[in-house]
Amino acid sequence: MKNELVLQAFGQHLRRLREARGWSQQALADVADVSKPTIYRLETARYSVTLDVLASLAQGLEIPLSELMQFPVPPRSSAD
Amino acid sequence: MKNELVLQAFGQHLRRLREARGWSQQALADVADVSKPTIYRLETARYSVTLDVLASLAQGLEIPLSELMQFPVPPRSSAD
DNA sequence: CCCATTGTAATCATATATGATTACAATCAC
DNA sequence: GTGATTGTAATCATATATGATTACAATGGG
């Protein structure tokens, strides 16, 4: 799990998208067909996430995958 | 690894981006700082891919992450 | 003709992403 | 104030994503 900053940025982005819809983590987990712990872990940047899950999230959020990936990517740290 | 069609579409997209630059799999692996087997396996849709690696690929290809994710997502099969 | 490069492929080892389950404090409905 | 909901959290088990290594056929350069 290198590139931790990207994961944090994505987590925040995902949370904003979810909250903008007034959904609980459980509700998003349901419509996206992923587990509730996964939602929690992504929003809190505890792990990375696979393209599989990204596609499911986009589908659950009813937005294109490319839009789900439209979040500010922080500059790479000098340590990689 | 559900959502296999998405992985196939991404693999084709990645390959097109790479070949458009005239790069070998090894060359892309180098600039993106991922292994050559990983490039091969992604292009041939053998596995999914983590956001970590996606971010590295985008950086190696010198395009925004959102652009790397701009490929035609096939409709979900009825079997999920 | 060699020799290097390239894409494909398999194997092994390891890290990790995911789900299932459980728990718990805070909040909210009523 | 009791009971359900919510976010957080940990643990266990399992699948899998990734790297390292090796090999091999095809191709291309010289």
> Which sign does the torsion angle of CA B47, A55, A72, B10 carry?
positive
pLDDT per residue as tens digits for the range A46-79? 999 999 999 999 999 999 999 999 999 887 654 4
Question: Which chain D positions have some atom within 7 A of a protein CB?
Answer: 5-11, 15-22
The residue range of the domain holding A16 is 4-67
Tell me the DSSP string of A51-75: HHHHHHHHHHHTS-HHHHT-S-PPP
Domain assignment of residue A60, yes or no: yes
How many structural domains is chain B composed of?
A: 1
Chain B residue numbers touching A69 (CB-CB < 8 A): 65-66, 68-69
Which of A7, A33, A58 shows the shortest C-beta gap to B51? A7
Under 8 Å between Cβ of A36 and A26: yes
CATH code assigned at B28: 1.10.260.40
- Which ranges of chain B have pLDDT less than 70? 1, 76-80
Distance from CA of A22 to the nearest CA of B (A): 25
Contact state of A6 with B73 under an 8 Å Cβ cutoff: no
8-state DSSP, B77? P
Domain assignment of residue A73, yes or no: no
- Give the residue among A53, A13, A17, A55 at the shortest CA–CA distance from A36: A53
Quick one: three-class SS letters along B61-76? Answer: HCCCHHHHCCCCCCCC
Domain assignment of residue B33, yes or no: yes
**Backbone phi, then psi, for A79, in 5-degree steps?**
-90, 25
pLDDT per residue as tens digits for the range A1-38? 678 899 999 999 999 999 999 999 999 999 999 999 99
Domain assignment of residue A79, yes or no: no
Question: Is the pLDDT score of A80 beyond 80?
Answer: no
CB A75: neighbour CB atoms within 10 A? 6
